Structure 1
Amino acid sequence: MKFIIKDYELYLKKEKGLSVNTITSYLKDVNQYLIFLEKYHEIKKPRHLNKKTLSNYLKNIKDKYEVSTYARKLTAIKSFYNFLLIENEIDLDFAKDIETPKLPKNLPQVLSVEEVSRLFSVIDIETVYGLRNIALLELIYGSGLRVSELLDIKLSDIHLNEGYIKIIAKGNKERVVPISPMAVYAIRRYLIKSREQLLKNEKSLYLFINNQSSRLSRQGFYKILKGLAYDANINIDISPHTLRHSFATHLLENGMDLRTLQTLLGHEDISTTQIYTHISNKRLKEVYNSTHPRARKEEENV
């Protein structure tokens, strides 16, 4: 059945508009399923699929993986069966009614405002790398970008005089994101004093460049951030998404409404944005317990 995988990949890309990472993950999971079908059931055509073979496969993988991994693999398979039905490769979608396990919602970690300030303070803005790094942080924290959105920004996407950038978000959808005056200033300094030195007479369409004169990678930014967190004595397991979470939480704590935050973050469903209300409530309780004298006394008596 591998002949149909190319068509499925095109469907995920063109029809569903999924990101490259999601498509790669789906294809890997579906290929694993197809290998199982050929090896243990000698099924090579979609018409030969049946409910029992799918059930056997799911039983086979359920105990091998964590719930989150199993749920992801099942989602990929359900998507594949839906595609086969659309293409009239099968008459019945055996995966449609299989229930995906509910995952526990873990609240993402966020930095305090003071920790964010420490992160910025350890950057040496007298160096070409420091100028780039301050621009990176001002933009990802100041605008709440996903790391892929940040690193995919091209020079043609930035409009510093107007104070906004164009972002290509999930599903290849475009959105306009405001940028703060501090980010505008940091980007201007980076463009004038740093970027050309990093390029070393090479050319690039992308805003952020590494020391090889190429687009800065996710791994490269992750290493930069981990190094800054170490220098700032921040002890949580920080990632680029931590800054996006912190951006959202700090805005809510300062009175932003949920709908506006949803637009800024580029969430299609407001339920995705609502997780930040839980974070804010949790932080509010922590601040209360650590500052109110009666709250501290209660803790001591417990």
Structure 2
Amino acid sequence: MILQKENECLSDALIRWSVEYEESLELKDWKDITIENYMVGVRFFISYFEENQNLDNLKLIDLTTKDIQRFFRWRKEEYQKKHGKVIEESTRTNNKKSIQNFFRYMKNENSNDLEFRIDWSDITFKNHRKDIVYFEEESVNKILKHLESKMKKDRTELSYTLSFAFKLALYGGLRASEVCSVRLNHFGKVYTKSNEDKSVKFIPLMIMGKNSTSYTNPIPYDKIKNEYNYFKRLKTQKETIFLSKRGLALTRNHLYNYLVEVANELELGKQGVHIIRRTFANNLIEKGVEIRGVQILMRHTDIKTTTIYTARSKNQMEEAVSKLI
């Protein structure tokens, strides 16, 4: 395909390429949410040139690193105006990744064999790192006690759903979307692991991750056996386990809202679903699990992502400082 037609403005050329690019992502059989994540940065990039007519006359092949940097400055300013807060570094990084991939596609597919003069390594963002928020042990116990009480009192499918979902994130590190996609046939056979001190029963769970990937994490069986056996009696092996209040397949938005209700009822001050996954990572670090082991259980491709979750382990900081005394 021609990179840019004669008399074609820059935004029109980008739109034409974006249609082809989106179709190429769909042909990879990726999930809709993954495709949307890749396209959102591209759409902002196109909007930048559509809203700045003096830039829309530029040639696509002539775009430089500075042009991309100016876009991200504009993106930051627009985000501040719209949301009244600073754009997260992770959002800008994801936008960069999607736009860089878009340019890689145009480079590979253009019929002129043209190459861009953009040094993507020069496009960096300041890291305004915040402490990772997680549930303290007291809060975890409050939630578990509350969910246990609801199961015994209500005996509804929803009460078992919330307890099971919470525990899969807490003891298995599952993301909200991964929890929602769990089926009974994703669980393996219960087995016992013994050492000098004790024996622990585990049940392997195949986790369906991003881009059709799958991983298997061991889940402590005794922690989930009541909920697991409840659904084992109720559902078929390949059936959707978790349903919403209205009987629809549970989504991460449903799960988020239900767990926010629990957090508000218990007046925890912290809420959400991903915070449970962070708690899983923090608990592993607090128990002395090495960072590589945490990376494997969190299923992070890059260990740098794991260090973000574990950088502020309270016990580790106290232990380190105690050595000065």
Q: TM-score, normalised by structure 2?
A: 0.73
Contact between 2:178 and 2:207, CA under 8 Å: does it hold in 1?
yes
Q: What is the identity percentage for the equivalent residue pairs of Structure 1 and Structure 2?
A: 21
- CA-atom RMSD in angstroms: 3.3
What SS does structure 1 have at the residue aligned with 2:151? coil
CA distance in 1, matches of 2:315, 2:71: 43
CA distance in 2, matches of 1:287, 1:53: 47
Number of the residue aligned with 2:7: none
Number of the residue aligned with 1:60: 74
Evaluate the alpha carbon distance shift between residue 44 and residue 186 of structure 1 in structure 2; reply closer, same or farther with a 3 A threshold.
Answer: farther
Evaluate the alpha carbon distance shift between residue 204 and residue 32 of structure 1 in structure 2; reply closer, same or farther with a 3 A threshold.
Answer: same
The runs of 5 or more residues in structure 2 that have no matched partner are 1-12, 80-85, 192-202
Contact between 1:37 and 1:53, CA under 8 Å: does it hold in 2?
no
CA distance in 2, matches of 1:267, 1:261: 9
Number of the residue aligned with 2:123: 99
Query: Does the alignment pair 1:4 with 2:17?
Result: yes
Number of the residue aligned with 1:183: 224
CA distance in 2, matches of 1:274, 1:56: 30
**Which is worse superposed, 51-60 or 100-109?**
51-60
Query: Does the alignment pair 1:115 with 2:139?
Result: yes
Can you list the C-alpha shifts for 1:263-282, whole angstroms capped at 9, x where unaligned?
111011222222344222x3
Amino acid across the alignment from 1:125: M
Evaluate the alpha carbon distance shift between residue 3 and residue 60 of structure 1 in structure 2; reply closer, same or farther with a 3 A threshold.
Answer: same
CA distance in 2, matches of 1:140, 1:14: 31
Superposition map of 1:33-72 within 5 A: 33-38=45-50, 40=53, 41-42=55-56, 46=60, 50-51=63-64, 54=68, 57-65=71-79, 66-68=86-88, 69-72=91-94
Number of the residue aligned with 1:210: 244
Aligned with residue 151 of structure 2, among 101, 122, 125: 125
CA displacement at 1:73 relative to structure 2 = 3.2
Q: TM-score, normalised by structure 1?
A: 0.78
What SS does structure 1 have at the residue aligned with 2:78? coil
CA distance in 1, matches of 2:231, 2:47: 50
Query: Does the alignment pair 1:170 with 2:210?
Result: yes
Contact between 1:85 and 1:93, CA under 8 Å: does it hold in 2?
no
CA distance in 2, matches of 1:204, 1:261: 30
CA displacement at 1:37 relative to structure 2 = 3.3
Number of the residue aligned with 2:284: 251
CA distance in 2, matches of 1:24, 1:7: 14
Contact between 1:258 and 1:273, CA under 8 Å: does it hold in 2?
yes
The runs of 5 or more residues in structure 1 that have no matched partner are 197-202, 296-302
Number of matched pairs:
280
Query: Does the alignment pair 1:85 with 2:97?
Result: no
CA displacement at 1:232 relative to structure 2 = 2.6
Number of the residue aligned with 1:228: 262
Can you list the C-alpha shifts for 1:182-235, whole angstroms capped at 9, x where unaligned?
213322123436x69xxxxxx983221112322111111111111211233312
What SS does structure 1 have at the residue aligned with 2:289? coil
Can you list the C-alpha shifts for 1:78-106, whole angstroms capped at 9, x where unaligned?
22212211223642243635412132222
Number of the residue aligned with 2:8: none
Contact between 1:206 and 1:215, CA under 8 Å: does it hold in 2?
yes
Contact between 1:204 and 1:214, CA under 8 Å: does it hold in 2?
no
CA displacement at 1:246 relative to structure 2 = 0.8
Can you list the C-alpha shifts for 1:149-176, whole angstroms capped at 9, x where unaligned?
1111133322354511111212322101
